[in-house]
Amino acid sequence: MEGIGNGIPTGDKLILRGLKFHGFHGIKPEEKKLGQKFLVDVDAWMDLRKAAYVLVLIRNLATLCNSIVKEVVEGPSHDLLESVAQMIASKTFTNHFQISAVRVKVGKPHVAVHGCLDYLGVEIIRYRTIDAPN
């Protein structure tokens, strides 16, 4: 990561878009019982200069990040999307020491909101801290 511009990380990043998994998150009983589709995007900031020479590293990280999202979304129920996003970010840092910042967007396309919308969601950006596990 080169730095932070306007509070947003800058530099190289791995991008995963449109991950879709079935989960049981929400505060309503039917959400926890029936579940629904969740849409997730992840940006993981890291130095990709070496990875440009070792394509296997990028593929492995993309596969592992996808596995983390799948584990969290399909795992135990959370009441809030914020909790789902935070769990994905935390597990990403725990499992990948190369990642210095992560952006996680979690969308819920089927919500009980009047009006037309593609999804309701949250987006968080987290930075690795000095005391974060390697």
d(CA 42, CA 27): 24
Q: What angle do CA 120, 124, 132 make, to 5 degrees?
A: 150
Residue indicated by tokens 């039917």: 30
The CB density around residue 87, as the number of other CB atoms within 10 Å, is 20
Q: Which CATH number fits the domain 13-127, given the four candidates 3.40.50.300, 3.30.1130.10, 3.30.830.10, 1.20.120.530? A: 3.30.1130.10
Domain range annotation of the chain? 13-127
Between the alpha carbon of residue 79 and those of residues 1, 5, 39, 74, the distances in Å are 32, 32, 16, 14
d(CA 107, CA 19): 10
**Each residue's pLDDT tens digit, 90-119:** 999 999 888 999 999 999 998 878 888 899
Active site residues: 108
Q: What is the mean pLDDT of residues 9-31?
A: 92
pLDDT tier, 4 (very low <50, low <70, confident <90, very high otherwise): low
pTM: 0.86
- Torsion sign over Cα 82, 36, 108, 10: positive
* Residues of the chain above pLDDT 90, percent: 60
More confident position, 111 or 2:
111
